[in-house]
Chain A
């Protein structure tokens, strides 16, 4: 590989941002001053290419410091990592949070997704833009779901610098959002995570038992509330025993695919190829989903402990926590928890003195829904574009860095703690026969008490809505987020289990329950969903890349039409939707038509 770098030079700030991550360059070949040793210098090649996975952190470093990624900065990063500039440019342009064009140091992301749109995001955006005016030094960006649905409408300000500063405003007013953007340091702090848990403090909670009860920064407090008893039990059981417990518990993945967790762990653990990796998927970008954020903000040590158990069971010594870049507080809290755990011997070379080595690295996403797809996530960590890989081979066989990998999302992993502390039979007794355990629901929209609710599997949709205080005039409920489906207000007796929703012809997905009353214009909501998928398609396969565009176009055409006038385009939507579902590479394209189809069939959206 003979790499070619352009003539663009980084500024001092850009160079400093990259060097802070990678250390100073050693030779003029990679950007240092010329020295006598330069002609005998031979690093590079494989040694440097092996650090390709630092590309995404490197892009973050530049974007955090400057606010955008210039040619000079990108070329310098490429030189340091021996990554071809064309590839790095392809990666940098893949993520919504990066810009390769100059922009102001402060970017204000204003969420325009479902819950926020229903709560007046459009007016909020317009108000912010007119208040800021031209030359304000703030770039206003209309953003997909920020995962703050319980406090809609939401805005996230990111001010580049050293260090980068962030501020969240939710529920946002024009005044507060502008304040957050102009002075993130003095913006009012976010409410505690427990505010997103209306049931906080209730004694029968399992997954949410500590949210609002423990100090998220205090390891001792976590231990005082039962922390690390599950890990001790795991060491007593041994890896095979842990997998047996998890299998017997009937736990299935909570990210939407509902794959049996024990089977996945067993399949990874038994792979002869090493090393094994553990990946925790915290790239919670499904519109309407915010449970992982609340867990990480309110009970971060629980995730650290659960990852340690999963790694121990599957024989992994390194875990990656892929956390979406839009969650600054969650990143901060989990990083603190990891550091504390490491300092106290709960991570590192000798976890709990048991001779088992495990450590966790946080990898920050940069704004790409597709990176929640497990193989796209691997590519993203490895420093490639976050495009899904074709399966087979499956991750348990060839996952991260081509090695056997177990990937679970945050909620799934946190379930492992009660499985070990209460034992598989007691856990399996919760819920229904085929959907065991407690489940988190992200309730938002037209309800009085939006937030995360924990209920045993089998509760009905109506029960969840009643808990959250559904408002009168309910028109539709979106189950499972943008990739899920709508149900009617008279279908509230649907049991919220995997099999129950399937029988009702819908899906539980990631546990989203979003209520819309009759003031929300349905066609506009569907357009927003279509726009979301068009925007978030990685572009790799034709059915999704072009199909999502054709879907949005058809919905635009029929936005104001009904009945016979819309029939042609609805037929077209059905045909395209069917091919997207059948022929797309990954779940994004396969589900991009679900919500629209359900709105047409179940709600009679255009009749």
Chain B
């Protein structure tokens, strides 16, 4: 069982959500309020363990009096605010953002996005066959991770997880700008020449599969990756005394990847290189 700290009690504030009175604790975002009210707002760059970056803009909603739409993931609810989540205007922006993304990157391994594309009637093909996209081969320069830039939506989650929000390694950054902006290590070199410590916390937060385990990448390439055939077992890492939780993803009696529960109050889904990647000895059957 995971123990979630309750924190200090917070005052409730009242505002209007789609015409209904909503009461949320102070400091809640509009997205928190939507989720509490059972409303489904699409999100891509928002992460449960990270400060929202509000870069993808699929979660935009309409706030009365605001000139532009506002991102639900990072805008705090304020008393008396009137929020509309499902207006034609908000739906239009979400649809276009989905089209812009799907026309420029490969979203085939992004959970839920296919359903949103259908729901918002997004048609990424309408920008034509010549619409600019990256078209870059995945970068495989080490035995642990693969970086597939074709799938990267620049959500900044890996940068934040590697930087001051969790890992404090600062091995990755956004470089360049505009459409040419990309995630890279220093001097855009191979991962092996960088400050990377291979904790894999960037993979843990990547929403699109642009960062993936080499094991998963190889199995997908071979056509043997089958999530429906996988079991997930959460256990305790045996390497040191901290007691981080590991979730072992097992397919055909082989560990295929290791994640960590995000609601764990100690690790919040983060691990070190040993916990994340050091599992071969478990299945060394000599």
Contact = CB atoms under 8 A, between A and B. Distances in A.
Query: A and B: real partners?
Result: yes
Interface in A45-63: none
A86 B97 CA distance: 29
Interface residues of B, number: 52
A548 B178 contact: yes
B188 A546 contact: no
A539 B179 contact: yes
B97 A583 contact: yes
B1 interface: no
Name the residue in B100, B127, B176 with the highest tally of chain A Cβ atoms < 10 Å from its Cβ.
B100
Interface string A69-92: 001001100000000111111100
B27 to A, nearest CB: 13
A62 to B, nearest CB: 14
B110 interface: no
Contacts, number: 163
B177 A547 contact: no
B267 interface: no
Nearest 3 A-B pairs (CB), nearest first? Answer: A539-B181, A84-B170, A90-B173
25 contacts: A1-B170, A4-B194, A4-B195, A85-B195, A86-B184, A87-B163, A90-B173, A90-B184, A385-B174, A541-B55, A542-B55, A543-B96, A543-B97, A545-B178, A545-B179, A546-B104, A547-B96, A550-B100, A550-B127, A576-B96, A579-B93, A579-B95, A583-B69, A583-B93, A585-B57
B130 to A, nearest CB: 7
A550 B97 CA distance: 12
A534 B170 contact: no
B184 A583 contact: no
A575 B154 CA distance: 23
Q: Interface of chain A, helix or strand or loop or mixed?
A: helix
B19 interface: no
A542 B170 contact: no
A35 interface: no
Nearest to B76: A392
B92 interface: yes
Nearest to B181: A539
Contact of B178 (A537, A581, A585): A537
Contact of B154 (A385, A539, A583): A539
Contact of A6 (B54, B74, B181, B187): B187
A540 interface: yes
Interface of A: 1-4, 6, 71, 74-75, 84-90, 93-94, 100, 368, 370, 385, 390, 534-543, 545-550, 553, 557, 572, 575-576, 578-579, 581-585, 590
B56 interface: yes
A575 B92 contact: yes
A582 B186 contact: no
A532 B102 CA distance: 24
B60 interface: yes
B65 to A, nearest CB: 13
